Each structure stands twice: as C-alpha cells, then as structure tokens.
A and B are shown apart, each in its own frame.
Chain A
Amino acid sequence: MTPFNKAELPEKVILSGADCFHLVLDKHARKHNTGGNVMRKIFYFNTPLSFEKINSILTSSPVIYWLCNIKLVQASFLKRPYWKYGDKGREIILLQHHAENENLIPEIILNRDITIKSDRYIEADLVHYPSGSCAFILSWNHILLDAKGTTLLFEHLNQLSENKIPDFKVFFPDTEKKTNVLAYIRNMYKVKSFIQTSSKAPVSSVASSPIKTSDGRTLTTIISFSETETKQINDNAFNTGSRFGPTLFLLACCSHVIHFINRQKNKAGTIWLPVPYDGRLRGAAGPLISNCVSFLFYRIPQNELSNVHQTVRCLNTQMMAQIKDGIPRKYTMFLNMMRHMPLWLYYFLISRTGKGVFASFLYTSTGDNFNLLKSLFGVPIKNINMIPALTYPPGLTFVFLKHADTLHINIAYSPQIISTNDLVLIENKLKEFLLHNY
C-alpha cells in the first residue's frame, strides 16, 4: 500500500450545518438512551476475507486515519464547532468475530456505541460464519459521514485495494463561501416559517408524544425482493405517477402503511416526513467527510391518503414546488446559521418542532449508490445491508437499499414503539402496497 503523508491531513474541519443537526440528534439519543447515533454498513461475502489484507487497506486510508485522530471542539459564543486533528498515531481497530448463525451480526457489534467522546469515530469488524462466508461491518458516528459520503468511502477503499493513490484533499469539505448576513437572516425567517407551517401539529406519528426514555435497543428486520419483484415495484412506481425514479411511490407506500397502523389505533392524522436530499454537485468525488444533506419536507393530509396514486400526486406536487422554491438550498443555509447557536438552545428549538414529534416515520434510501457495487476489497459482494441511527421519536426508519438490481428494505425500529404485531402488519402491508398490480 502507498503510504500517505499524515502531516498533510487537515488540522481543522468546521462542522457543516447538517453535521450540527446531527450533534443535536446525538444529544437527543444520549438524553433518551435511544441507541446512539451510529450508522452501520454490512457487506456479506460468500468467501472468507483475509484479516491481514483488510487491515492493511483500512490502515492505508488517510480518511480513516483522520477519523481515528480527531476530537470535537464544541461551539463557543458565535464560534462554530470544528474537528481538530492531531496525529496521535491511532489506527483503526479491526476486530474479528465468529458467529454460529449465518448472516447474524453479533450483539457485541450492534450494542457498541460510538459517541462524540470516543477515541475513534469509525470502527471495523469482520465476522466469520461456519459455512466459510463472512461479513465486513463498518460503523461510524453519523455526525461525520452521510449516505453519499459512505458510498465515496467504499469507492475509496476499493481504489486503495487496487493500489491507486488517492487525492485525499477532495475528501474534506472546501472552505465555505461567505454569504451576506442579511441574506442569511432573511432566508432564516423564510425557512423557519416554511418548517413551522409544514410540521404544524397535530402530526400523526407511530410514536406518541411526549418522549419516553427508551431502553436503547434498535431492532431490525429485512424484506428482500427478487429481481422480478423489484422490476414490478419500479413499474408500479411509474404507473402510479412517480416519474423521476421510484422514491415517491416508495414514500407513498410507507405512508399508507403507517396510516393503516395509526388508524387501527385511532390516531390517524396528517403524515409529516423529512426526506434527505444530497447537496453535493453530481458526479463529485467529495466531500466524503461531513454531512452534505438537506431535506425536502412532505405533509400528507388524511384526504390525500385514499389511494396510492393520489398520495404520489400529492408528494409530486410538493416536491416540484420545493425544488422550484430552492427549499433544500435555503434549508442548508438555515442549518448553517443554526451552527452559531449554543447546543442547548438549538436542541430546545428542534425538540419543539411538531410538539416533539420529529416525524411520522423516517425514510432513507441509498438510491442507486450501491446497486452497481459488485465487489469490495477485490472480493465479490453477496449482499449489502445498512443499519441506520434510529431517531426516537418516531423510532421507525425505513431504509431502502438496492443491490444487484434487487430491492431490500431494512425496517429499523424501537421495540417500545413497534410491537411484534405491528411489525408483522408493517411487513405484510408494505409488501402488499409495493407489489399490488396498479
């Protein structure tokens, strides 16, 4: 592996507005013991991976080294928080495990937390199964990497395994362009008013308000579709009016499932959900570090939930209007402005949104990011899974992941919110809505 110059790594990286929002979520997760703000990506392989080879690739990554040698410097009066890099010589720790059941991820990995006080913000595990297959798991604190950043990280690891020398400067965020303070303040009022209207209570969530303390567990279940079923889902998306990819159809189906569950519990109402929007320029190789996401916000009243076609139309109208109004860009500016606030005040303001109900449920999708990723470390990938950082409330996140032209949905949930019966209903209804002949 080609060595990199540790002294060239950036000493100071200011947190983006979205990173700071994750700081708030992290604080929330600690306060309510909801399982931390840790994301995990799991790659399954049919054949064993060499510990030495993986370790050598991981330790040759400048980004991973940086993630193991930074600490957070909190915001002070009007000063933004930042990551301070100091070469402490800490390498990533790759741990090996042996699991008895195929595909099972040991509890010790799932229960391990990565907090803002941890020495390292990224961890790696290799799990061996009796059949000779294995899984590679990378876990990180969500404050540092978003979904696209993760995709770029795995592309970077693949380049390292091919002995390609990375130009790691593109992995770190550029210095921000200065924006006129008045423009910032005007924008802040516009966005604040938009969010307040959009998230106006009452919002119907799977979780009930006020927030209870959780037992910290995040459970997951996966629904996998065959290639034929995935094609049918894509066709259904198009037939129901989801013209620019299947996202709106998937969102509509999830909304109908939640509406169905809430109706059974006599708490049906307006659905409100923020959906991530990647703020990077398309085709860019970076930045890899920092969250560059903004959001689109959808509000679906009950009268738009009569059928899936109607819900897709409702979502489409809102999506077009928000992109036309530049809401994602304005919301990014809003988040950037919020960075100047003390964390306690930021947290106070955020937890008041929708009377503490952050969203009806959460949705995330890797889109086509992993669809064409055929191998990692030079070894063919059998399957990919992602375990999100579960925000509670709502305590229910749908993760849509496409790999090798097959769709997989990981439902991550808090057992205090979603009972076993609820889960069975969610799985069955979701399949029904997605595979219905529209």
Chain B
Amino acid sequence: MDIHIIIEEIKKYIKNNILAEAVHIDASTDLKQVGIDSFSTIEIILFIERRFGVSIPDEKLIPDNFKTLEALAATVMELMPKAS
C-alpha cells in the first residue's frame, strides 16, 4: 500500500472523529500542537490496528512515531507484511 494512501486514511479518521472542524492538518503537522493528546493517540492506534490489520508492538510506541501523519504512516508501512 502506498504511504500517501495510509496518510490520507489516518487523516480522514482523525478529521472525522477527533479534531474540531476548524483544525486543519497535513502530513507534517505536529499532532500534539493541534491538540492530539494521549487518549486521542490511543484512538488513532486502535483505528490503525483495525484498518490496516497490524499490531503496534511496545518498542514502536514511542512519541516520535506518533508525532505526525507521516511518522504514523511510516510506522504502519514498516509493520505491514511486505509483498513478495
């Protein structure tokens, strides 16, 4: 799956479920700066696990991996099974 598709899907989820309408984000927005807190991060993780069928291991649960949509999508890419 293309990283841009993953970014768009996570962005759509965040915009529809977590953020206020007036808040705009793009791939490199610092999510903490727009109000994404620890509870929202868990909601995002649960969405990612559900939508992309990956399980985020403990060692990947570090702030840098949740800082931006780009970082989140890169983490998902790493965890997704590689096409042979």
Contacts and interface: CB of A to CB of B under 8 A. Distances in A.
Main secondary structure of the interface of B (DSSP, over half): loop
B20 A284 contact: yes
Interface of B: 18-23, 32, 34-43, 46, 58, 61-62
Nearest to B21: A281
Interface string A397-409: 0000000000000
Nearest to A281: B20
A53 interface: no
A76 to B, nearest CB: 34
Contacts of B34: 282-283
Contacts of B36: 282
Given A243-B58, A245-B37, A367-B37, A281 B42 contact: no
A244 B22 contact: no
14 contacts: A243-B61, A280-B20, A281-B18, A281-B21, A282-B23, A282-B34, A284-B20, A284-B22, A285-B20, A323-B39, A323-B43, A323-B46, A324-B46, A328-B39
Contact of A244 (B21, B23, B38, B58): B38
Contact of B40 (A241, A243, A282, A285): A282
A285 B40 CA distance: 17
B20 A283 contact: yes
A282 B18 contact: yes
A233 to B, nearest CB: 15
B42 A244 contact: yes
A247 interface: yes
Contacts of B39: 244, 277-278, 323, 328
A320 interface: yes
Given A243-B58, A282-B35, A367-B37, A323 B18 contact: no
Nearest to A316: B42
Interface string A255-289: 00000000000000000000001101111110000
